[in-house]
């Protein structure tokens, strides 16, 4: 549900306004956009999604406490987002799936999970700052599309 709402927001008519505000607020103000209104709406949507995620988490695990979201969980979530690609909903879902399964594959590393996540963060930021989604986008751009590869005979 969260992912569907994020995709809907990214495809809505206000996506350019939100992207413009994230890039350069002053330019958007000059263009007559009510920046505080859009920032407040984005903040409200983000907190609503976080509240929904927290409710689903509490329902699933039947417990929420201060120790549920410590430093290790924060680094894990950050790694998932960076690995998948910041700003790409399918990329973040892919990053979450891969990095959630990673500890099961490498149970022998035990306490070194954060070291592996740190290495993943470092490599992704050096190799592809856009994450896996950035790599996929770059590969799509390299592949010639069928429309440009068709030659018109005269």
User: In the structure, how many helices (H) and strands (E) does the chain have?
Assistant: 9, 0
The alpha carbon torsion through 28, 29, 30, 32 (nearest 10 deg) reads 90
pLDDT of residue 144: 66
Q: Last residue of some domain: 47, 64, 81? A: 64
pLDDT of residue 85: 84
pTM exceeding the 0.85 threshold for the entire prediction: no
- Give the residues of the chain that fall short of pLDDT 70: 1-3, 5-6, 9-10, 13, 106, 109-110, 144-154
Q: For 59-79, how does the pLDDT look when each residue is reduced to its tens digit (9 = 90+)?
A: 888 888 888 788 878 878 888
Enumerate residues 6+ apart whose C-beta is below 8 A from 103.
109, 113
Could you tell me if 100 and 127 lie in one domain?
Answer: yes
Could you tell me if 55 and 96 lie in one domain?
Answer: no
pLDDT of residue 40: 92
Q: Last residue of some domain: 64, 86, 103? A: 64
Domain range for residue 19?
1-64
pLDDT of residue 1: 60
CB 79 within 8 A of CB 92: no
Q: For 122-141, how does the pLDDT look when each residue is reduced to its tens digit (9 = 90+)?
A: 888 888 878 888 888 888 88
Could you tell me if 45 and 74 lie in one domain?
Answer: no
Could you tell me if 77 and 118 lie in one domain?
Answer: yes
Residue 125 inside a domain? The answer is yes
- What's the CA gap between 44 and 27, in Å, rounded? 23
Residue 6, helix vs strand vs coil: helix
């Amino acid at each position: 549900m969260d992912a569907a709402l994020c995709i809907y927001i990214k495809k809505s008519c206000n996506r350019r306004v939100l992207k413009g505000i994230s890039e350069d607020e002053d330019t958007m103000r000059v263009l007559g956009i009510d920046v505080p209104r859009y920032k407040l709406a984005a903040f409200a949507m983000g907190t609503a999604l976080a509240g929904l995620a927290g409710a689903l988490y509490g329902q699933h695990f039947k417990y929420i406490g201060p120790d549920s979201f410590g430093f290790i969980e924060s680094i894990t979530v950050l790694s998932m987002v960076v690995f998948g690609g910041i700003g790409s909903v399918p990329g973040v879902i892919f990053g979450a799936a891969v990095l959630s399964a990673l500890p099961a594959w490498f149970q022998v590393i035990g306490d070194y999970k954060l070291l592996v996540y740190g290495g993943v963060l470092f490599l992704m930021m050096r190799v592809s700052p856009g994450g896996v989604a950035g790599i996929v986008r770059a590969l799509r751009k390299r592949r010639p599309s069928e429309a440009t590869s068709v030659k018109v005979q005269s």
